[in-house]
Chain A
Amino acid sequence: MCLENCNKVLEDNLVAQCGRCGKCRSVCPVFKELRAEPYVARGKVQLYKALLNGTLEATERYRELISFCLLCGQCTENCPNGVETEKIVLRARNKLVDSRGLPFIKRNVFQHMLKNNGRLNRAAGMLYLFQRLGLRSLVRKTGLLPGPLKNMEQLLPAFAARPLRSQLPAVINPPGRVKIKVGYFTGCLSQYVFTETGKNVARILSRAGAQVLIPEQYCCGMPALTAGDRMNTAALARMNITAFQDAGVEVVITDCATCGSAWQNKYPELLGEELPFRAMDISQFLAQWGLPETFGLPQAPVPVTYHDPCHLARYMQVREEPRVLLRGISGVEFTEMREADRCCGASGSFQLEHQDVAARIGERKINSILATGARVVATGCPSCRLQLARLLQGIDADIAVVHPLDLVR
């Protein structure tokens, strides 16, 4: 009962912070595209407040409006009152899940897939085969999939033949003495899609003198959390923390901004306790421990720009480290883009539910990238990476999208 009361007071205070000044209208990427009050932070905060005080009910329209948030955090950064819209929207979504339950597909994925690596591996393997054996082009040509599923199928990344963790040993020792024991949290996208990035991360960590431990681990839980499923996220948090604690790590390293913010921000918040070890993005770690040697690009200087993932820049306050890293790589001609920390529009499942808006938000990012004349965009988030690569491919731009560490040879 007390917990419920405390929760209610906490929620009341979160929404009461909003003085309705409307300043978020100047920065919200969704509002910029849709130009109507329900889509801006102020609108969503007021909607949730109205739900809490009984003015509104949890209708389908309400659910839909609450889904129109990237959780990019730009409003909070610009808010004179520091209203935490991201937290408020997550609570609003959580309340919807509590009262209405999750949609069938999401419920099954969160409860049964994310906690079971065997099932995930088999699904990824099947997708790889689907994409490689010509089934994809067959399905696309014959139009077997109905409209919405067809669109979602096109958003699927190219899956790797073998998951990253099946290619790496559970313990990688450094060339010299062990300076630190790090746990590498691969995240689902380095595990199943960007396996080369994952190998780079492991290699560079060990060269930096770290013993790299890669225990059996699970999805970070953010896809479930952003859909409003706190319960399954908390369960995944516990499973992951235990896995790395048992491995005896001193610090957990992520190469994905979203996983990183799960570890740094969401796990302590959800579980109400501090992590038993530190968690850092790989760029933060290298800023502290230094690159093993100066490695450079093999070819002539290449103009490179950097896109700030929301989860790195605003959730983890990591802005400088990746830039320092990039500037330190010989052959990188670093060039800053306009609005480098503006959301690319991907935002996990946002792009699945709101493809058109996500693409329009992404277009602005693409224009920023094109204006720099860069040949390479580096970004520390695989989800941003997929979105940028797909959009650049769509306009036939010859620009590579990479993780900053992919440039370290």
Chain B
Amino acid sequence: MPLITQLGRIAGEHNVFSSREERFCYSYDGTFHFHLPDVVVKPQNAEQVARIIKLANDNGTPVFPRGAGTGLSGGSLPVRGGIAMVLIDMDCILEIDAANQVAVVEPGVITGQLQAAVEEQGLFYPPDPGSLEVCTIGGNIAECAGGPRGVKYGVTRDYVLGLELVTPTGDLIHTGGKTIKNVTGYDLTRLIVGSEGTLGIVTKALLRLIPQPKAIKTVLAVFDDLLQASEAILNVFHSGVTPATMEIMDAEAIKCVVEQAGARLPVDSEAILLIEVDGRPAAVEEEVTAVAEACLRYQARSVETAGTPEERNRLWQARRAVSPALVKLKPTKISEDATVPRAQVPAMIRRLQQIREKYDLKLVIFGHAGDGNLHPNIIADERDAGEMTRVEAAVGEIFQAALELGGTLSGEHGIGMMKAPYMQAEFGTRGLAYMRRIKRSLDPNNILNPGKIFPE
């Protein structure tokens, strides 16, 4: 029986797409790569997922799990054809257990919708990837998504208490549970979070929630000198404040939003910090003063603070304008997320600026300075082959710089296929071999998301 017919029997014919046009719409994600799947299936429950995986093992067909398709490392791309498995129909918030502060959700739940649902009960799910209005919890878990709030609240892995998953051979298993403490056996939950869909398909997640912060304030500081801005960053933490977010924009990013989006910022400044503190109102007052003082101590040209949603929104405008402003220059945006220890941020920025000059590329630097997760963005045109070759070389050097400074290839986007060639540089032959042995023992037929994480 043809694969399509078998999939239709499992998930229902209307949940299987086989026309070239429909398959094409599952060949991309948030990157600029395209890989056409042979068939697309939308399972409706865990049992169907398990049956599809068993079928795939029997047929030797690779399976590429997918949520909203917003990934930035190619993690969900069907690089070897096969089955694109779309999990967005499994989108129930099964339980919000306010007493234990745990949410039980299916993988297709949209992150922003979960946040809104728990907020109604005074609770908070902090991970805030840029795509939170559309991305799914399943995808967040697979890539261990982060976001601006990572500096204070951590990332997806810090909120996953337990999972139900279908293994690469089609068995349904559970990991972890609702308790904060749990040292029973291997920590399979953590093994799965960030495994990029190569070790299992999450069909249910138990997520830790915390109380919603009562107050939030924003500080915008403009610096003439990048080095001083970096010192201010460290000084904020020294003063005992852990900000909820701490965003930086370099001179090139500032110039871009001023010229392309009409942002009202001094175009001759070298860096802008956007810092938020949240918590109890009295503490927020105290902390916002400490943040402003730290910025002024290091020669900030101006410091603005805002408390109301409208004013905060105004301060965030310039930061939000970066992405749209960039595509006005050129259509292809290559967003990297190499991450360094916080104290190395100034060194990393300098290295990035050197790379920008060496390869003559439009490279702007912004991102999460508080946790060292910078987003150097290269703006190019994918139709320009020469430029794309320079981009590739520059990206390689960005990774090298991050590793030399004690950092890592990826802070929150994942390795996918795009960073796989650089894995050797971070882990060495033995480290990679150890990882490969895990993958081989759990997925002997190499069914789940092959071609990802590991260099070919």
Asked whether any CB of chain B lies closer than 8 Å to the CB of A50, the reply is: yes
Shortest distance from the beta carbon of B346 to any chain A beta carbon, whole Å: 29
Asked whether any CB of chain A lies closer than 8 Å to the CB of B70, the reply is: yes
Contacts of B128 in A (CB 8 A): none
Asked whether any CB of chain B lies closer than 8 Å to the CB of A248, the reply is: no
Shortest distance from the beta carbon of B95 to any chain A beta carbon, whole Å: 23
Chain B residues numbered 6-43 whose CB sits less than 8 Å from any CB in chain A: 17, 19-22, 24-26, 28-32, 42
Contacts of B30 in A (CB 8 A): 19-22
Contact A21 B131 (CB under 8 A): yes
Contact B68 A25 (CB under 8 A): yes
Chain A residues numbered 249-305 whose CB sits less than 8 Å from any CB in chain B: none
Chain A residues numbered 1-25 whose CB sits less than 8 Å from any CB in chain B: 12-13, 16-17, 19-23, 25
Asked whether any CB of chain B lies closer than 8 Å to the CB of A99, the reply is: no
Asked whether any CB of chain A lies closer than 8 Å to the CB of B134, the reply is: yes
Asked whether any CB of chain B lies closer than 8 Å to the CB of A101, the reply is: no
Contacts of A167 in B (CB 8 A): none
Contacts of A157 in B (CB 8 A): none
Contacts of A46 in B (CB 8 A): 24-25, 28
Contact of A61 among B19, B131, B134, B333 (CB under 8 A): B19
Contact A47 B327 (CB under 8 A): no
Spot the interface stretch: A30-38, A124-132, A343-351: A30-38
Shortest distance from the beta carbon of B147 to any chain A beta carbon, whole Å: 15
With A22-B131, A47-B21 known as contacts, the answer to whether A37 contacts B26 (CB < 8 A) is yes
Contacts of A19 in B (CB 8 A): 30, 323, 327, 331, 333
Asked whether any CB of chain B lies closer than 8 Å to the CB of A183, the reply is: no
Contact B134 A26 (CB under 8 A): yes
With A19-B327, A81-B323, A81-B324 known as contacts, the answer to whether A56 contacts B68 (CB < 8 A) is no
Asked whether any CB of chain B lies closer than 8 Å to the CB of A43, the reply is: yes
Q: How far is the CA of A61 from the CA of B19 in the complex (A)?
A: 8
Asked whether any CB of chain B lies closer than 8 Å to the CB of A315, the reply is: no
Asked whether any CB of chain B lies closer than 8 Å to the CB of A80, the reply is: yes
B333 and chain A: residue at smallest CB distance: A19
Chain A residues numbered 67-84 whose CB sits less than 8 Å from any CB in chain B: 80-82
Contact of A22 among B20, B89, B134 (CB under 8 A): B134
Asked whether any CB of chain B lies closer than 8 Å to the CB of A154, the reply is: no
Asked whether any CB of chain A lies closer than 8 Å to the CB of B367, the reply is: no
Contacts of B26 in A (CB 8 A): 37
Shortest distance from the beta carbon of B331 to any chain A beta carbon, whole Å: 4
A24 and chain B: residue at smallest CB distance: B134
Q: How far is the CA of A365 from the CA of B268 in the complex (A)?
A: 49
Contact A35 B89 (CB under 8 A): yes
Asked whether any CB of chain A lies closer than 8 Å to the CB of B133, the reply is: yes
Q: How far is the CA of A316 from the CA of B31 in the complex (A)?
A: 34
Chain A residues numbered 41-68 whose CB sits less than 8 Å from any CB in chain B: 43, 46-47, 50, 55-56, 59, 61-62, 65
Contacts of B135 in A (CB 8 A): 22
Q: How far is the CA of A19 from the CA of B331 in the complex (A)?
A: 7
Most buried by A among B25, B28, B323: B25
Shortest distance from the beta carbon of B91 to any chain A beta carbon, whole Å: 9
Contact A36 B17 (CB under 8 A): yes
Q: How far is the CA of A50 from the CA of B17 in the complex (A)?
A: 18
Contact B131 A47 (CB under 8 A): no
Asked whether any CB of chain A lies closer than 8 Å to the CB of B142, the reply is: no
Shortest distance from the beta carbon of B160 to any chain A beta carbon, whole Å: 23
Report B110-139 CB contacts with A as 1/0, cut-off 8 Å: 101000000000000000000101110000
Contacts of B42 in A (CB 8 A): 36
Number of A-B contacts (CB under 8 A): 81
Q: How far is the CA of A26 from the CA of B116 in the complex (A)?
A: 14
With A22-B131, A23-B133 known as contacts, the answer to whether A17 contacts B327 (CB < 8 A) is yes
Asked whether any CB of chain A lies closer than 8 Å to the CB of B69, the reply is: yes
Contact B29 A20 (CB under 8 A): yes
Shortest distance from the beta carbon of B76 to any chain A beta carbon, whole Å: 11
Shortest distance from the beta carbon of B244 to any chain A beta carbon, whole Å: 22
Q: How far is the CA of A22 from the CA of B69 in the complex (A)?
A: 7
Contacts of B381 in A (CB 8 A): 16
Contact B133 A26 (CB under 8 A): yes
Shortest distance from the beta carbon of B292 to any chain A beta carbon, whole Å: 30
Shortest distance from the beta carbon of A180 to any chain B beta carbon, whole Å: 35
With A19-B327, A82-B324 known as contacts, the answer to whether A55 contacts B21 (CB < 8 A) is no
Q: How far is the CA of A62 from the CA of B28 in the complex (A)?
A: 17
Asked whether any CB of chain A lies closer than 8 Å to the CB of B83, the reply is: no
B34 and chain A: residue at smallest CB distance: A55
Shortest distance from the beta carbon of A210 to any chain B beta carbon, whole Å: 37
Q: How far is the CA of A23 from the CA of B70 in the complex (A)?
A: 8
Q: How far is the CA of A282 from the CA of B71 in the complex (A)?
A: 46
Q: How far is the CA of A43 from the CA of B32 in the complex (A)?
A: 14
B17 and chain A: residue at smallest CB distance: A36
Contacts of B209 in A (CB 8 A): none
Q: How far is the CA of A61 from the CA of B20 in the complex (A)?
A: 9
Shortest distance from the beta carbon of B387 to any chain A beta carbon, whole Å: 14
Q: How far is the CA of A62 from the CA of B86 in the complex (A)?
A: 21
Contacts of B24 in A (CB 8 A): 46-47, 50, 55-56
Contact B88 A35 (CB under 8 A): yes
Contact A62 B131 (CB under 8 A): no
Contacts of A62 in B (CB 8 A): 21
Shortest distance from the beta carbon of B26 to any chain A beta carbon, whole Å: 6
Report B76-113 CB contacts with A as 1/0, cut-off 8 Å: 00000000001011000000000000000000001010
Shortest distance from the beta carbon of A64 to any chain B beta carbon, whole Å: 9
Contact of A36 among B22, B70, B134, B332 (CB under 8 A): B22
Report A156-200 CB contacts with B as 1/0, cut-off 8 Å: 000000000000000000000000000000000000000000000
Q: How far is the CA of A65 from the CA of B19 in the complex (A)?
A: 11
Contacts of A22 in B (CB 8 A): 30, 68-70, 131, 134-135
Contacts of B21 in A (CB 8 A): 38, 47, 56, 59, 61-62, 65
- Which 8 residue pairs spanning A and B have beta carbons closest together? A16-B331, A37-B25, A26-B133, A25-B134, A43-B25, A22-B70, A38-B25, A81-B327
7 residue pairs bridging A and B, Cβ less than 8 Å apart: A20-B29, A21-B131, A35-B88, A38-B22, A65-B21, A81-B323, A82-B324
Known interface pairs A16-B331, A19-B331, A20-B32; 6 further A-B residue pairs with C-beta atoms within 8 A, sorted by A's residue number: A23-B131, A36-B25, A38-B21, A43-B25, A61-B21, A65-B22
